[in-house]
Amino acid sequence: MRWNSKSENILEEQEMMVKIRFFARFRELLGTDLITEAAAGTMFTSLIITVAKKNPEGYAAIFDENGVFHEYVILMKNGKRIDIADAVMTPVDDGDEIAIFPPVAGG
Amino acid sequence: MIAIQTDDVNIGDLVIAAKRRGTGAVVVFDGVVRDDDITEMELEAYEDFAIKELEKIAKNATEQFKLLHVDIIHRIGRLLIGENILIIIVAAGHREEAYAGSRFIIEAIKGSVPIWKKELTKDGGRWVPGEHKHGSGKPRSNRAMNTSIFLLPVISVIFHLG
């Protein structure tokens, strides 16, 4: 920790507010429009694991037994799709909107 | 008109409004709630993103098939058997472009627009699985050209003036 970086560290340690939106079956199991706190440096996948663990059925709908997103799950961050492989190392930022949903079925 | 809404639309009015100089054909796709031993259908959308996707699809179809006009109205909320779910109205100079443009739009919607359907039955309900099963993981085989097993597509040429 640098001597003159006290204010920076305070900022880094502040909780971020992230909006998580589940849809369709995931919404029924886990809710939607969840405003959740996340520590600076939290990664996309770890945040969703934490939230989804509140409902075992919801967790099982999204993650496999190894804590990896099921292949069919679609991930978005601020309107852009995120690959499952990249989500592990994708940080979330304050004010982000994350969307998690099953394959689309419109039309 | 590109919209996601609960209200129905007057298809006749849209057909009239779609015609403009150079129009030779107007194709109407009307996807309706089929009686599959259900009581109602409930639809939900990730509206902000779904609208952007519909606008992108309409733009791509217009450019690719030289369309003169495109309307896409996707309804959400609870719908009864026989009610309209999705109305696509396409105007073009000739029937070939109009048919192809309409088909392009419905297949693109099924592939990418975040909208979901739940069939409600007297015993509960079931989410309709998407035709495109791949998510953000490694894509599986492409099922893009499967015909819908969930809708009764009513496709009709309203006008063929070309």
Distance CA A10, CA A31 (A): 32
What's the pLDDT score for residue B130? 79
Spell out which chain A residues touch chain B, with contact meaning CB-CB distance below 8 angstroms: 21, 23-25, 27, 69-76, 79, 81-85, 87, 99, 101-107
Do residues B144 and B132 touch, judged by C-beta distance below 8 A? yes
Distance CA A98, CA A79 (A): 8
Distance CA B57, CA B23 (A): 21
Distance CA B27, CA B72 (A): 12
Fold of B1-9+37-128: Aldehyde Oxidoreductase; domain 3 (3.90.1170)
Going by pLDDT thresholds of 50, 70 and 90, the confidence category of residue A61 is: very high
What's the pLDDT score for residue B123? 87
- DSSP per residue, B74-142: EE-EEEETT-EEEEEEEEESSHHHHHHHHHHHHHHHHHH--EEEEEEETTEEEEPPPS----SSS----
Q: What is the pLDDT of residues B68-81, one digit of tens each?
A: 999 999 999 999 99
Q: Do A105 and B128 touch (CB under 8 A)?
A: yes
The number of C-beta contacts closer than 8 angstroms across A and B is 104
CB proximity under 8 Å: B 51-110 to A: 52, 74, 85-86, 106, 109-110
Q: What angle do CA B129, B130, B132 make, to 5 degrees?
A: 140
Q: Dmax over Cα atoms in chain B, in whole Å?
A: 52
Q: Which two tokens stand for residue B17?
A: 């409004």
Q: Report all structural domains of chain A as residue ranges with CATH numbers, in order of start.
A: 14-101 (3.10.20.30)
Helix, strand, or coil (residue B17): helix
Residue of B nearest to A81 (CA): B136
CA distance A12 to chain B (A): 30
| Closest by Cβ to B133, choosing from A69, A76, A103 | A103
What's the pLDDT score for residue A13? 58
> ipTM score of the complex?
0.83
User: Who wins on pLDDT, A20 or B150?
Assistant: A20
What's the pLDDT score for residue B150? 34
Q: What is the pLDDT of residues B105-156, one digit of tens each?
A: 999 999 999 999 999 999 889 999 877 666 666 544 333 333 333 333 444 4
Q: Tell me the domain boundaries of chain B.
A: 1-9+37-128
Q: How many CA atoms lie within 13 A of B97 on its CB side?
A: 20
